[in-house]
Structure formats: C-alpha cells, structure tokens
Amino acid sequence: MTYRTDERDVWVDPVSHDPVDPHESKHQSFYNGHMYHFTTLVNKQTFDQDPQLWISTPHAAQNSASLNAIGEDT
C-alpha cells in the first residue's frame, strides 16, 4: 500500500479542530488516500467510527495557510 503525504506544516485534528504536529502526534488514521492526525486517542477512535462525517465538516478543509491567516489577525 502506498501512502501519500501532505506538505502542510500544521495539521488540524478533524474531530477537535485543534492544530496537531504530525511529527509529534501518536494517533493517526489513513482514510481515502490521506493521513489524518489526532490530538488524542479518543478523537482517533471517534473519527474511525465514521470518517466521512468528520472530513465533510468545514474545519476539515483548514490547512496551514488558513491557520497562518488566522494567527496573523491577532
């Protein structure tokens, strides 16, 4: 199986919407060609029960560019 990588420097936990460092995260799930990182095991388990629910939310599309834009406003 081939895993595609993503070059974002900041990832967003699709369940909690918190930023997560993919190099520090201990909880990941591979779904539909993408790796998702989680801040907690509970978030990973929640995602694994119904991944499509969590990736179809507006926050799931946030990437490092949108996070950086948010940070620049403060």
Count of other CB atoms within 10 angstroms of residue 74: 4
| Assigned token pair, 19 | 């930023």
pLDDT digits (tens, 9 = 90+) for 21-39: 888 899 999 999 889 999 9
- The length of the chain is 74
Inter-residue contact 38 to 25 (CB < 8 Å): yes
Res 8: pLDDT:
56
Entry pTM:
0.66
Residues of the chain with pLDDT under 70: 1-9, 57-74
Give the SS3 label for residue 20. Answer: strand
Which sequence spans correspond to the domains of the chain? 11-72
